[in-house]
Chain A
């Protein structure tokens, strides 16, 4: 065959245009998509740092519970009861009695979606109030009734982490083991 110019090569009479068969390529792509879908983790996790619990933490006196920071003077404690929150600090506990609601917790439960639920918003408002007087304080102790679910503890930590305008409240959380005042 006589040598032709490159420009003439593909235009010879009777030559078929070459069709690339992409079917196997598509098969590979589909398999890749499936494997990526299977491998992706859809729930994204994060971690909350907490400090160690103290065994036998005192409730009213606060004597047995030591905050992670020894220099901390406030000793802020949030008590999660079965029916609401109490807030304690340096030996004194605020509850319903201190606001003429005898026998009730400081922040009682509210009804949300037809079910009683803890009032995290009110707790956060209280904590913001306390933060105003103790600007350098960052640690908080959480003490809860033995039956309180973990979900509530996490929500309390969420409420205590930042105020709605993004300022830090009491992000260093420690736990007092199971004693509620």
Chain B
């Protein structure tokens, strides 16, 4: 008997951007939820990722996050069938709010299983999903802002700090996903003004320290001190196609 295999992820009751955040940071690997009581209405089928209609891809801010397709193999001779549904009532963006994989073995009563998104047959292997997302976005990283929701209230530090809003948090996750690794991972801490502070303090090289504050809202400010004592600054707003390049050029410049 083939069991409904490895269940390794879920993305339930999430808005598309939050879902994207989880995809991008790898959080999906760590979360597993039970199947909510939704009615499913499968979208049209497609055969391969290349043939995926646009309605079967999740785009968030013009960034492709995931693709999926369906195979109605249940009861038709397949040992496994991956049916990946979206909840049509879940919202815009192709109903990307809730994803389910419906999986069964022939000898068993079909049972729905929450998983993320797979573009492959029998796509419950973590390797398959990981490799897909790796291909799309690079190696997933643990969410460095895990738990930051607790700073969403005023005075979270006891010194009258401003809340870190959901908007700031989403933006920070997005920006962090595009942050160059030139100087390694940043030290991250919540700021009393409702922003999120990143800093790199380096033992050697031309750069002594780089601070980068994200928020409040969709703005960032980088400021740094070179070992020569020279101070510089750069800022940006929102997240556009050029944002990763701007950050990369900044880090490249500071490393020289």
Q: Is B truly associated with A? A: no
